[in-house]
Amino acid sequence: MDAIAERAERTSGAIYDHFGGKDGLLYALLEEWVGDVAAVISAELATASTLDDRLAALWRNVAHPPTREGQWIRLEHELWSFAARDERARDHLSRRYEAAWAGVDVAIGAWAAEAGSEPPEHPAGPVVIGVLLGLEMMRRLAPDSIDDHAAVAALRGAVGATQLHEEHAR
């Protein structure tokens, strides 16, 4: 914290006062980085015309983040690991993920409506986010293990999109 305060030309007390501690600082940093990636994803989704294009945009921005050389995803994994051991961190990340899941479900509902089909019976947000993060972890360990086509196919399954995809392709 002292090094961060020095670099920001602030006192460590000011940093603690603003962020509440190291955890708060890391959450704020993650939120900023995720916001940057979300803006890129939103722009790509606005121009995507097919379900596979939309899923590819999600995958591409998780597997190959456009900003800060993927630092956000590494911090995401670190904080998730910490949250598995710390109740306050778990509560914070749970709220964050619940909002992300809801956003994915809203998008999937809109995509289904556009395709003239029903949205999935069950919320798909947790599954989609889980598949994205899990595939990214596998790709990070073995870069050739997950290609873009496999990732899109897995995401199609995660959204329950076999029927949605077939109807949209017609």
Total number of domains constituting the chain: 1
In a domain, residue 139? The reply is: yes
> Residue 67 above 60 pLDDT?
yes
Give the closest residue to 120 by CA, choosing from 155, 158, 94, 87: 158
Rg (alpha carbons) of the chain, rounded to whole number = 18
In a domain, residue 23? The reply is: no
Distance, CA of 101 to CA of 109 (rounded, Å): 12
In a domain, residue 84? The reply is: yes
Domain that holds residue 77: 47-169
Helix (H, G, I), strand (E, B) or coil at 51: helix
**Mind listing the pLDDT tens digit for each residue in 75-112?**
888 888 999 999 999 999 999 999 999 999 999 999 98
Length of the chain: 170
In a domain, residue 91? The reply is: yes
Tokens of 99: 């909002």
**Mind listing the pLDDT tens digit for each residue in 123-151?**
899 999 999 999 999 998 999 999 999 99
In a domain, residue 77? The reply is: yes
Distance, CA of 167 to CA of 160 (rounded, Å): 13
**Mind listing the pLDDT tens digit for each residue in 16-60?**
888 888 888 888 888 888 888 889 999 999 999 899 999 999 999
pLDDT at 163: 47
